[in-house]
């Protein structure tokens, strides 16, 4: 197996590093941390490590999650493994030797403290190559707007789990669109529908992060 393929496979399996106990059949074996370290030592292009190793692995686990063949813990372990590689690429992003796909601003809207789904979206978008600005939960529309002003050209992701406060997505979307009509706003969360997304003027509703990534790929946004 090629090194990049091995990295992707270890991301899928959630193998962080040599000392991590998960998955049991890979106990004591190298994880994503060691393979990315070795790839960098062998002067493999960091962009290749990102696109053919880490991103590829996250994409495959995301697809499995989307069709119900992988579950939240699988995504969490994959994201942890991906992060062990991504942390080592950080200096290359900072120096410009490796590039991100774009900036994704994400948060759970005002009045809503649920952040498990939002965190999964954050991790998947990191794995898809985006720099993610995570505003956390219970985020006021003004805070989203401030982040959009600070990161021109960013995409925005709004999460909501409560029917009582999901309407705060409307004000947030309107504020963003009034300031910058071209800024794309994606919305998600268990109670949402495509109809709600359309009614508040957001650009895309995705029922899970993989669907958002697939849409961005199809529309060739930030590719």
Stretch that binds ligand B12, among 46-54, 76-84, 92-100, 187-195 (CB under 6 A): 187-195
Helix (H), strand (E) at residue 3: helix 3-13
The reply to whether 209 sits near ligand B12 by the rule CB under 6 A is: yes
- Among 46, 62, 107, 157, contact with ligand B12 (rule: CB under 6 A): 157
- Among 159, 168, 172, 173, contact with ligand B12 (rule: CB under 6 A): 159
Stretch that binds ligand B12, among 5-13, 34-42, 83-91, 186-194 (CB under 6 A): 186-194
With tokens 């692995």, the residue in question is 57
The reply to whether 85 sits near ligand B12 by the rule CB under 6 A is: no
Cα torsion 155, 209, 186, 52: sign: positive
The reply to whether 163 sits near ligand B12 by the rule CB under 6 A is: yes
Q: How far apart are CA 10 and CA 21, in angstroms?
A: 13
Burial of 208 (0-12, 13-18, 19+ CB in 10 A): middle
- Among 190, 198, 217, 223, contact with ligand B12 (rule: CB under 6 A): 190
Which residues contact ligand B12 by CB under 6 A?
A: 72, 111-118, 120-121, 157-159, 161-164, 186-191, 206, 208-209, 212
């Amino acid at each position: 197996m090629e090194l990049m393929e091995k990295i992707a496979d270890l991301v899928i399996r959630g193998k962080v590093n040599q000392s991590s106990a998960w998955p049991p059949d890979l106990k004591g074996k190298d994880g994503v941390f060691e393979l990315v370290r070795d790839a960098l030592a062998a002067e493999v292009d960091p962009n290749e490590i990102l696109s053919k190793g880490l991103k590829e692995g996250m994409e495959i686990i995301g697809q499995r999650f989307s069709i119900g063949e992988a579950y939240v813990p699988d995504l969490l372990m994959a994201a942890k493994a991906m992060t062990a590689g991504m942390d080592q690429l950080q200096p290359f992003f900072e120096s410009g030797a490796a590039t991100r796909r774009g900036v994704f601003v994400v948060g759970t809207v005002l009045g809503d403290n649920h952040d498990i789904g939002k965190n999964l979206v954050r991790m998947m978008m990191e794995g898809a190559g985006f720099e993610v600005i995570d505003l956390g939960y219970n985020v006021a529309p003004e805070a989203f707007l401030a982040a959009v002003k600070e990161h021109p050209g960013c995409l925005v992701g709004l999460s909501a789990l409560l029917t009582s406060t999901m309407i705060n997505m409307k004000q947030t979307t309107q504020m963003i669109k009034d300031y910058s009509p071209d800024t794309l706003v994606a919305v998600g969360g268990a109670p949402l529908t495509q109809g709600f997304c359309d009614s508040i003027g957001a650009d895309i509703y995705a029922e899970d992060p993989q669907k958002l990534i697939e849409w961005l790929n199809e529309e060739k946004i930030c590719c």
